[in-house]
Structure 1
Amino acid sequence: MTTATGHAVAIMARMGYAARGIVYLLVGGLAAVAATGQGGQTTGSRGALERLLTAPLGHALLAALALGLIGYALWRCVQAIKDTDDHGHGPKGVTIRLSLLVSAITHTLLAVFALSLTISIGDDSSGGNSRSLANWLMQQPFGRWMVAAVGAVMLGAGFGHAKKGATAQFHQHFDMPSLVQVWAYPICRFGLAVRGLVFLITGTFFVIAAYQIEPDEAGGMAEMFDAFRSSPFGTWLIGFVALGLVAFGTYSLLEAIYRRVEPDS
């Protein structure tokens, strides 16, 4: 990879982290408002993007986010293929790298959805990102097993995020001043832990969908919030996860600024 290409990839990656952070801040913020009873409703990443249509310069914001999400998906591919973070070829490393490719696919779908909203051809499904993926996979040869594999990768990513938050493994990838670390690291650790929980729940949805051969059983954050809403202490669960998603969004924005991005490593 040439120096110019590596520089372009680094810019693309930082734009991607920023776009991901904004999406999670939107999802978490909307859920927090709903949990406090101040109106609004919980939603997933698609629903959060749809809300931007009502904001000033909403179409321009959506186009910018779509560009950032595409950049993030491409960076995830670079991370998985070139193994820029040295995960290796063992079972753990392969699982992490597969999760990066799954992340690339889901963020590409989200970017396409955002672009479709800017030209008014978006669908009415706010939480259909995961179900769209499950539907498409189920129609392929060995589709049931592919859906199960995605679920297994998500479960692995959930445990990985939880461990990353508990042990602050992200430290090795950050060039962050110590004064920033004091307040930023607790936020990052909490956000990663809650994002791990979300992965575990959505991964379970995919495994159930594969077991029942029913792609509509798959789901993302919107379906997770729906499940919380119908459970005991649902408001508290929604509020807890909402705070965690806001923390994860903050973590992503910090990655856009302080993460070491080394495409040639």
Structure 2
Amino acid sequence: MAGLTRFHFGRNTLERLARFGYGARGAVYCVVGALAVLAAIGRGGQAGDSKSALRTVLGGPFGAWIVGLIALGLFGFALWRLIEGVTDADNRGSGLKGLVVRAAHVGSAAIYSGLAVTAASLALGLGRHRGSQDGMQDWTAWLLSKPLGLWLVGLIGLGVMGGGIAFLLKAWKGDVTERLALDAAACRWAKPIGRFGYAARGIAFLLIGGFFVAAAWHQASSEVKGLAGAFAALRAQPYGWVLLALVAAGHFAFGAFGLIQARFRRIDAPDLDKADDAVARVVRSVT
């Protein structure tokens, strides 16, 4: 193996990527929330999803550069979520609850990888003008056309709703700051922000999951809607602008809490160099 140059990708590098990722995700949801609040109170803005928010940022000063940096951060966040789920970096354990959380992290890695690709495409001028809702309806239609597809779409919906319930429980119990390196005084102001944010995400997940269940029940992919659809459903209710404003403000709080996580979250990144050394030893033993 002499002469082989190895890229050093250790614990500190992974921690920096994770923190950059939390910051990028936080920035996206701050924009999502701010735009939706403005839409709710009739001051312009758009009650859309994260991809709509990226397009809005793209249209601003230095938009392509900012969206490009967000794309890098989201790739870092997706990588951290994947490693977090596979290696159990947060010591969730191998019990049922721990495995569910770790599986959710792996699913989150896939979702944010897709968002990172979208952001990178937009930054490079390659982004399509179709909304994310169209894409969701396309793959839902494909899935519904397959054997047992109806049941799979329904299970996806129930899984998303389960995630919403988990967010709401986290907000209710108030343990949102348990993995932050903050003293009691700082937690007193960070905790309400996090609880408000998780509650808003929980409501959105319940609505989005409900759309999937409705799609399965009616066997119609047109029933599927994303965050923009959830905002629209809230707006359509009596005093809907108040409901939309509250949930939108909660998404801004979720984004702000992501920025707090970027600075203060405890990140127990695994030492990937050890795994790299093990692989190198195996390679040497067979060559």
Same-fold call, TM > 0.5?
A: yes
What is residue 180 of structure 2 aligned with on the other side?
174
* Cα shift at 1:185: 1.1
* Cα shift at 1:142: 4.7
Most deviating of 83-92 and 10-19: 83-92
Equivalent residue of 1:123, what SS?
coil
* Cα shift at 1:259: 0.5
5+ unaligned residues in a row in structure 1: which ranges? none
The 8 Å contact of residues 200 and 248 in structure 2, kept in 1 or not, is answered as no
Cα-to-partner distance string for 1:96-148 (whole Å, 9 max, x where unaligned)? 22222221111111111111112222222334364465456557775444433
What is residue 75 of structure 1 aligned with on the other side?
80
Asked if 1:94 corresponds to 2:106, the answer is no
Most deviating of 94-103 and 26-35: 94-103
The 2-side partners of 1:200 and 1:152 are apart by: 9
Pick from 113, 127, 138: which aligns with 1:122?
127
Asked if 1:251 corresponds to 2:257, the answer is yes
Cα distance change on mapping 1:121 and 1:144 into 2, 3 Å? farther
Cα distance change on mapping 1:115 and 1:150 into 2, 3 Å? same
What is residue 106 of structure 1 aligned with on the other side?
111
Aligned-residue RMSD, C-alpha:
2.3
Larger of the two Rg values belongs to structure: 2
Asked if 1:194 corresponds to 2:200, the answer is yes
The 2-side partners of 1:262 and 1:7 are apart by: 10
Asked if 1:84 corresponds to 2:89, the answer is yes
The 8 Å contact of residues 87 and 96 in structure 1, kept in 2 or not, is answered as yes
The 1-side partners of 2:100 and 2:239 are apart by: 34
Cα distance change on mapping 1:138 and 1:117 into 2, 3 Å? farther
Cα distance change on mapping 1:203 and 1:159 into 2, 3 Å? same
Identity within the alignment, %: 37
Cα distance change on mapping 1:141 and 1:66 into 2, 3 Å? farther
Equivalent residue of 1:173, what SS?
coil
Q: How many residues align?
A: 264
Equivalent residue of 1:171, what SS?
coil
The 8 Å contact of residues 126 and 222 in structure 1, kept in 2 or not, is answered as no
Asked if 1:17 corresponds to 2:22, the answer is yes
Asked if 1:30 corresponds to 2:35, the answer is yes
What is residue 159 of structure 2 aligned with on the other side?
153
* Cα shift at 1:258: 0.6
Equivalent position amino acid for 1:159 in 2: I
The 2-side partners of 1:222 and 1:154 are apart by: 16
5+ unaligned residues in a row in structure 2: which ranges? 1-6, 272-287
Cα distance change on mapping 1:190 and 1:263 into 2, 3 Å? same
Cα distance change on mapping 1:58 and 1:106 into 2, 3 Å? same
The 1-side partners of 2:204 and 2:13 are apart by: 32
Equivalent position amino acid for 1:85 in 2: D
What is residue 213 of structure 1 aligned with on the other side?
219
The 1-side partners of 2:146 and 2:9 are apart by: 39
The 1-side partners of 2:125 and 2:79 are apart by: 25
The 8 Å contact of residues 11 and 269 in structure 2, kept in 1 or not, is answered as yes
Equivalent position amino acid for 1:10 in 2: E
What is residue 236 of structure 2 aligned with on the other side?
230
Cα-to-partner distance string for 1:8-56 (whole Å, 9 max, x where unaligned)? 2111111111011011100000011111111222111111101112111
What is residue 165 of structure 1 aligned with on the other side?
171
